[in-house]
Chain A
Amino acid sequence: DAGITQSPRHKVTETGTPVTLRCHQTENHRYMYWYRQDPGHGLRLIHYSYGVKDTDKGEVSDGYSVSRSKTEDFLLTLESATSSQTSVYFCAISDGSQTQYFGPGTRLLVL
């Protein structure tokens, strides 16, 4: 399995609070991605990174920001959490080939 960890694995928070999710990889891959998974929607891309300090928006980026200060870490921040951001969040990595490898996911509940 690709060396990808996500933390926390589960989080409950309240509306309006900031939340940061962490993705950590040990593969030294250039590309990193954040997706959210919701029933009936599959996985949708939130943000991605193509190098340290190089990030861009995906399909559903509103309300989210990201940062990548080191190759191995990609942080996803919900600036002010809303109930619509209750979801399962997956990080993925790629070395630039066609294949992405996924982390175990973070379950976020916003009350």
Chain B
Amino acid sequence: AQSVTQLGSHVSVSEGALVLLRCNYSSSVPPYLFWYVQYPNQGLQLLLKYTSAATLVKGINGFEAEFKKSETSFHLTKPSAHMSDAAEYFCAVGSSSNSNSGYALNFGKGTSLLVTP
């Protein structure tokens, strides 16, 4: 079974500071890893995904994540936080181990990012 753990349910950064949201995964098969963002009262929007093509993945809005197999991590970073980055961020893992489910995802519990002026 695949699972992810997001370290820190709340993260606060100052505007312009580095954003680092942590995600560690557990998977017995090569994982597919995702970061989604959820703005208040909205659905989830895909930020980026890792599908084994490259370990450093660039996403939308200046975010990127690096897949580190040795550390079983897929941390999300952004060099300079904007006020508009305040949202809930979810890490998710999927695999094709169950062909009927497509790539059903297992989500972390989420990290709420607060950006202060």
Query: Which residues of A approach B to under 8 Å, CB–CB?
Result: 30-31, 33, 35, 40-45, 48, 50, 54, 56, 58, 90, 92, 94, 96-105
| Other-chain contact of B42, A48, A92, A99, A104 (Cβ < 8 Å) | A104
Q: Is the CB of B49 within 8 A of A98?
A: yes
Q: A22–B106 Cα gap in the complex (Å)?
A: 22
Chain B residues with a Cβ closer than 8 Å to the other chain, count: 25
Q: Which residue among A44, A97, A100 has the maximum number of chain B CB atoms within 10 Å of its CB?
A: A100
When distances are taken between beta carbons in the complex, the residues of chain B under 8 Å from A35 are: 107
| A56-B46 contact in complex given A40-B109, A42-B109, A43-B107, C-beta closer than 8 Å | no
Which B residues lie at the A interface, using CB under 8 A? 9, 32, 34, 36, 42-46, 49, 51, 90, 92, 94, 100-110
- Contact (A99, B46) CB under 8 Å given A41-B109, A43-B107, A44-B107: yes
